[in-house]
A and B are shown apart, each in its own frame.
Chain A
Amino acid sequence: MKQVQFSRREAMVLGAGAATVTLLGGVTGALAATATDDAINAFTGGATPSEGKITLGAPEIAENGNTVPIDVSVESAMTDDDHVESVLVLADGNPNPGVATFHFTPMSGDATAATRIRLASTQNVVAVAKMKDGSVYMAKREVKVTIGGCGG
């Protein structure tokens, strides 16, 4: 049996290395977050999204990140004057945060859509809805992904 022993100096180096890794992780995380924020801003035109009205359905744990079923629905009368124009779906931990944009019309009857998406890792899925009157609503769900879905 070989015993692993660290001298004080080695321990310091290791500690510093670990700190760098966490720091790097933090930076990439922040980068992805800004890309998501940029996408949201581009979509809303700068309006601040408020909570509510929109429901985003996603599994809490997704075993296979290649196909994660999601659904979005927005409360709306769906009349000519008051309807949901479009819904933007984002995944903030993917290489590209954009997932899909759904466009609705009053003919849609109700603003619901469902599809299956790829998620690279455990992350937040965000849905942003833009109404005819310009107001913006947002919903967020965290999905835990067991196997990532972006190839290797």
Chain B
Amino acid sequence: MAKVKPRVKVPKKAAAGDIVTIKTLISHPMESGQRKDKKTGELIPRKIINSFTAEFNGAKFFSADIDPAVSANPYMQFSLKVPESGEVKFTWVDDEGSV
């Protein structure tokens, strides 16, 4: 568990059946594996977040497979149709395991 603090914006209240927009932002270098170290000339190894999932009360409602072409500090915006009160859980996984 790396110590990274994601920023998440979820509306606190919503009527059942409403569609809400959720915005997330996490800081991560998203090293693409294409860049070279300026001093040594060696390729900097790839280190990116490769998958993202969002769950509502344990049920997955949105996920994304991410390639190196997503910018550093990946920002994601998507929506959720709220069926009932509950908790939204987000998971980011990078090349080295969990975040």
Contact = CB atoms under 8 A, between A and B. Distances in A.
A102 B63 CA distance: 6
Interface of B: 19-20, 32, 34-36, 56, 59-72, 74-81, 83
Contacts of B34: 95, 150-151
Contacts of A149: 71
A100 interface: yes
Given A101-B65, A105-B59, 16 more contacts: A91-B69, A101-B64, A102-B78, A104-B62, A106-B81, A107-B56, A108-B61, A108-B81, A112-B77, A113-B78, A114-B75, A115-B64, A115-B77, A118-B68, A118-B71, A151-B35
B69 A99 contact: yes
B67 A110 contact: no
Nearest to A105: B61
Interface of A: 66-68, 71, 78, 91, 94-96, 98-110, 112-119, 149-152
B64 A107 contact: no
A1 to B, nearest CB: 40
A67 to B, nearest CB: 4
Given A102-B62, A150-B34, A151-B34, A109 B70 contact: no
B62 A108 contact: yes
Contact of B71 (A67, A106, A114, A151): A67
The 8 closest A-B pairs by CB, nearest first: A109-B81, A151-B35, A109-B19, A107-B61, A114-B77, A98-B67, A116-B71, A99-B69
B69 A108 contact: no
A129 B83 CA distance: 25
B71 A109 contact: no
